[in-house]
Chains A and B, each alone.
Chain A
Amino acid sequence: MDRSVEILELLSSNCRLAVEEIAAMLAVPVDEVKRTIAELEAGKVILGYRAMVNWEKVGKERVLAFIEIKVQPQREVGFQAVAERIYRYPQVKTLYLMSGAFDLAALVEGRSMQDVANFVATKLAPIEGVMSTTTHFVMQTYKEEGVVLDEYEKDRRLVVSP
């Protein structure tokens, strides 16, 4: 496997691994790991390092909505121009161009349902090129980015075994 892909896989599973640890795990010099990571950062392959948080546990008021958006594509720029207008709002956490019955899928975060509804009504829907929106509120998050929330699978193995 490509060395930088290996480094990326290790970091994406735990970005707090030290370069020395990564170097040991891949059996390569520390300097090479440092250089590769620097290159990946400079090339915007690595976009950031963040903690995965279960916000519910800290009682943060937070509502997520999954919004289907139908868009009138525009000559020369297609969906791009409308997408840009949408994703510039900080409320929009994620935005995908989709195949199928609608064009864009946005994951929007707000403090309350009212907050999200206001955003859709006053900001999102009026954008030129947006033909319609369908808002689905998230009731519960079970799994995010490959991590199951609220499930801490305890090590159930015997402490010592042959």
Chain B
Amino acid sequence: MTWEAYLNPVVRDMPPSGIRRFFDLAAEMEGVISLGVGEPDFVTPWHIREAGIYALEKGYTMYTANSGLPQLRQEVANYMAGQFGVKYRPEGEILITVGVSEALDLALRAIVAPGDEVLVPEPCYVSYMPCVRLAGGTPVPLPTTMEKGFRLTPEQVERAVTSRTKALLLCYPNNPTGAIMPREELLAVCEVVRAHDLIVIADEIYGQLTYEGEHTCIAALPEMRDRAIVLQGFSKAFAMTGWRIGYACGHGDFIGAMTKIHQYTMLCAPIGAQMAAVEALRNGLPEMRNMVRQYNYRRRLVVDAFKTMGLPCFRPGGAFYAFPRVDVTGLSAEEFAELLLREEKVAVVPGNAFGASGEGFVRCSYAASVENLIEALKRMTNFVRRRRRARRQQEAGVVENV
């Protein structure tokens, strides 16, 4: 007896995340150094953890307001104004969510009607396309390339817009490429967005992790504040992935609609985690900046090593990922990742897990200790050298056979 017929066809036909297979493979091996992790290697700073413990001790175990603790929304408002120069009212324009994942889902469900198209630059985070589909919309991938620094061009948006296009879903700094959108280029994209009356959902979870120049929050650009739903959170910058706290900022109409869905499906984010998040924003900035500095050291180390081992690698300006091209070894992204794992016990994520345009690349997270990075890079160097030699011999062999 199978119950497949009972499943929602959208869910039934949805492919499982391409990362899953690698997870299973890597999880059963010993001595693996993982560059496949999409979260900080730092543990949440102690003063933030302690604030969470204190909240429990004091008996904060109840629901909060649907939109989140007032003091957290106030801190978020201060932070968005202070860091990115965008002003939001804590009442009605800010919603605290269970991670950015929930915020993204809410934003999509709030705006997408059946058949609406959402433009999504690719390669992208694994959940974007499925979430658009679950909301009843049609995701339209906009492939970006290494040659253009994995940035989105206004022409691409222009070409992809149809009468059904409702929104552009942006993620810069980008997972998996580490690409950033400099202010001027973002401005050019926004012009097209305005010309076609689209809205932007901006997943800026990696905003604080920008190493080249300053992060431009899309809502800080002229005439974009009310047209953009900005998604931010604590997971990456404050090393708080497991606490599951994110937030959405935007026009009251959007935030109001999202709050409605949130109140029926989630009610509120966990109170202890919200109280820890208050502490993070009040006192966590110096330690956050220190973590950003450490990531930057590692970023340079990793990019430099790829150059030395002969893997073409775009220089990532943000997040904590490098996205080298591995097709020079004669292997596909998945073959490269699988063989690297089996032969050298280094886990990376094949680029095609992030969309078709990620084929030929692998994502390497440098959210790992310097010692582990150095060891992993050594192993990768050996692997690449061996593969290239094998490829040369193979090619020579083919010629002889002819």
Residues on A facing B (Cβ under 8 Å): 10, 14, 17, 21, 24-27, 153, 155, 157-162
Contact = CB atoms under 8 A, between A and B. Distances in A.
A153 B43 contact: yes
B16 to A, nearest CB: 12
A48 to B, nearest CB: 21
B313 to A, nearest CB: 13
A160 B334 CA distance: 14
Contact of B300 (A25, A155, A162): A25
Interface in B212-254: none
A25 B298 contact: yes
Contact of B127 (A17, A153, A162): A162
Interface range on chain B (Cβ under 8 Å from partner)? 20 to 34
B41 A159 contact: no
A162 B374 CA distance: 22
B37 interface: yes
B38 interface: yes
A161 B39 contact: yes
B285 to A, nearest CB: 16
29 contacts: A10-B297, A14-B370, A17-B370, A24-B300, A24-B301, A25-B300, A25-B301, A25-B370, A26-B300, A27-B300, A153-B43, A155-B34, A155-B41, A157-B34, A157-B37, A157-B39, A159-B37, A160-B19, A160-B23, A160-B34, A160-B36, A160-B349, A161-B23, A161-B36, A161-B38, A162-B125, A162-B126, A162-B175, A162-B353
Interface of B: 17, 19, 22-23, 26-27, 32, 34, 36-39, 41, 43, 125-127, 175, 297-298, 300-301, 304-305, 347, 349, 353, 370-371, 374
What 8 A-B pairs have minimum CB-CB distances, sorted nearest first?
A160-B36, A24-B304, A25-B297, A159-B26, A160-B23, A162-B126, A161-B38, A159-B34
A153 B370 CA distance: 16
Contact of A26 (B19, B27, B126, B297): B297
Nearest to B17: A162
Nearest to B367: A157
Given A159-B32, A161-B39, 16 more contacts: A21-B301, A21-B370, A21-B374, A24-B301, A25-B298, A25-B300, A25-B301, A27-B300, A155-B34, A159-B26, A159-B34, A160-B19, A160-B26, A161-B38, A162-B17, A162-B353
User: Do most interface residues of chain A lie in helix, strand or loop, or is the interface mixed?
Assistant: loop
A26 B43 CA distance: 24
Contacts of B349: 160
Given A14-B370, A14-B371, A153-B43, A159 B301 contact: no
Contacts of B17: 162
B19 A162 contact: yes
A17 B297 CA distance: 12
Nearest to B337: A160
Contact of B37 (A21, A27, A153, A158): A158
Contacts of A17: 370
